[in-house]
Amino acid sequence: MTNPLDQPLETDLSAELQERKAGFGKTTVVLGVSVLAIVAFVGGVFVQKSFGAAETPARQTAAGRVPGGTPPSGAQQRPNGGFGRGTAGTIDHIEGTTVFVKTQNGEIVKVSTSDTTKVEITSAGKLADLKAGQQIVVQGQAGTDGTVSGQTITQRPTTG
């Protein structure tokens, strides 16, 4: 029996290799583009994790609170459910120039007003335009006793 490796080659491989077209085939191009797309996607994910926001910003009230949510980090909670820059809730009642706001957690926050307090309903309004049961947002400075010095009171649209 003869060894097949001892036999001379019948065709010249160098001639066949020279006949092959130079360049990339379709499959190579498609695989290359696919790899680049995957690398770009993964790179985007890492960039988002490093530089992007932790979560999508939710609609916030003027007091910096997400309705029904918790105060922003760093906000100092005041007595009676108020927060450093104001409060939001439903008007419980009004006594003279003081508005009592019931927050979503059921606490009553006393809001003192002055002649410079702006009351905004769909247009500019007055303290007398506010009624118990209306949803409002109060902007102002909270005192150490929990009373908010109202600078702006905005009536929120009725929901439901």
Helix (H, G, I), strand (E, B) or coil at 35: helix
Question: Is the pLDDT score of 30 beyond 90?
Answer: yes
- 53 or 47, greater pLDDT: 47
**What span, in angstroms and rounded, lies between the C-alpha atoms of 43 and 53?**
16
Nearest to 153 by CA among 94, 95, 102, 113: 113
> What tokens does 116 get?
């410079």
**What span, in angstroms and rounded, lies between the C-alpha atoms of 124 and 137?**
14
pLDDT for residue 9: 63
> What tokens does 91 get?
């008007």
Question: Is the pLDDT score of 66 beyond 50?
Answer: no
Q: What is the pLDDT of residues 15-29, one digit of tens each?
A: 666 666 666 788 889
